[in-house]
Amino acid sequence: MNTGLAAMVLAAGRGTRLAPWTEALPKPLLPLFDVPLIDVAIRRAVAAGADPVVVNLHHCAGPLEAHLDRLEDGLRAGGWPGTLVRSREALLLGTGGGIAQAGPRVADRTLLVMNCDVLFEADLGGLLELHAGHGAEATVLLHSGEGWEHLRTTRVGPGGQVEAIERAGGVDPDLGVFAGVYVLSPSFRRRLRPVPSCVVREGLVPALRDGARVMGLKANFPWYDLGTWPAVHRACMDLLRLRGTERCGGPGGLLDLSPGEFVPGTGSGAGARSPAYVGPGVDRGAGSRVLGGAVVGAGSRLGEGALVEDAVLLPGSRAEGDVRGAVLGPGWRVGIQGVAHPA
């Protein structure tokens, strides 16, 4: 256990772009491959040696807190001696304010912070080593791949030191996308106040202006910002294709935690089909088919002759007829533009 490391998982946001799921449940409980997002983040923090692990709560805090109780029991049963701390926010404080409010819970430890709504396969050990080796106030994980031009970008110099945080839309090879995973020293956290604020605007930008040492680890790795249903669909399809490859990471990742069955892909070349996933307790009607790129969550029902392909069925969904290129939840119907809407 790394006694000098604590972690915080940011889980308080409303997730309005993921309605209707987030109208009754918090985004951190969104189950992909039958694994709630919050489980992946907390288990990563535990594997990195963090204690305590702090989770902030605001929107739909009741169901999330009940889930955290069960998860903590499971971690303890598995031998984890640490503490899972709840930081409740009466007012949504944002990233900066949430971290500041949690400060007394982590004392003077180095703090690993992760947004709950990102999936990634990257080396947290390398991020922590970079931070400690340079005595940095903050160290940020940056994604250097393509496809995220709409997000805020960060310029890193040859020695790995962050030089500037740029506007979104950059294409310069020195730029990387802020991945929502970072390490903060106690000296940096003293810049933050427990009021609604952003860790970038009220933390990182002023720190750079003041000449603080802020490091950036930039790499091209599987990374997904799960803020919208099309992004959720894309992440699931990519992860199915990457499963079993070096780019999908090792034990402890999302797919490794999934309780269901992965069906291998078939064929090659232009006619190849991706693997599929079928969770426990799926009720498959006569003649129903699960084809490549399907993610069928636990307890879903496939009607007679139903077909699921290139689609995500959240646990408890009901598919009648063909479901293609969509995300489908319990009580929803398939809509347009690859997204499912309430019935």
3-class SS letters over 161-208: EEEEEECCCCCCCCEEEEEEEEEECHHHHCCCCCCCCCCHHHHHHHHH
What's the pLDDT score for residue 1?
Answer: 43
Per-residue pLDDT tens, the chain, 343 aa: give them: 445 999 999 999 888 888 888 888 999 999 999 999 999 999 999 999 999 999 999 988 899 999 999 999 999 999 999 999 999 999 999 999 999 999 999 989 999 999 999 998 888 999 999 999 999 999 999 988 766 555 557 888 888 899 888 765 555 666 788 899 999 999 999 999 999 999 999 999 999 999 999 999 988 888 899 989 999 999 999 999 888 665 555 445 788 899 999 998 765 555 567 899 999 999 999 999 999 899 999 999 999 999 999 999 999 999 988 999 999 999 886 543 455 554 4
What's the pLDDT score for residue 272?
Answer: 64
What's the pLDDT score for residue 308?
Answer: 93
What's the pLDDT score for residue 343?
Answer: 43
Q: Compute the distance between CA of residue 191 and CA of residue 212 in angstroms, rounded to an integer.
A: 11
Written out in words, the top-level CATH class of the domain with range 5-225 is: alpha beta
Q: Report strand pairing: 138-143 vs 214-219.
A: parallel
Other CB atoms closer than 10 Å to residue 88's CB: what's the count? 12
Question: What sign does the CA torsion over 90, 92, 93, 98 have?
Answer: positive
Cα 164 versus chain centre, distance: 25
Q: Compute the distance between CA of residue 91 and CA of residue 269 in angstroms, rounded to an integer.
A: 53
CA distances to 33, 198, 207 from 105, rounded to whole Å, are 32, 20, 23
Distance, first Cα to last Cα, the chain: 48
Q: Compute the distance between CA of residue 328 and CA of residue 259 in angstroms, rounded to an integer.
A: 20
Q: 142 and 218 in contact (C-beta within 8 Å)?
A: yes
Residue with tokens 């506007």: 167
What's the pLDDT score for residue 170?
Answer: 52
What's the pLDDT score for residue 156?
Answer: 85
Helix, strand, coil percentages in the chain from 3-state DSSP, rounded to 5: 30, 30, 40
Can you read off the two tokens belonging to residue 6? 């604590």
Q: Compute the distance between CA of residue 321 and CA of residue 293 in angstroms, rounded to an integer.
A: 17
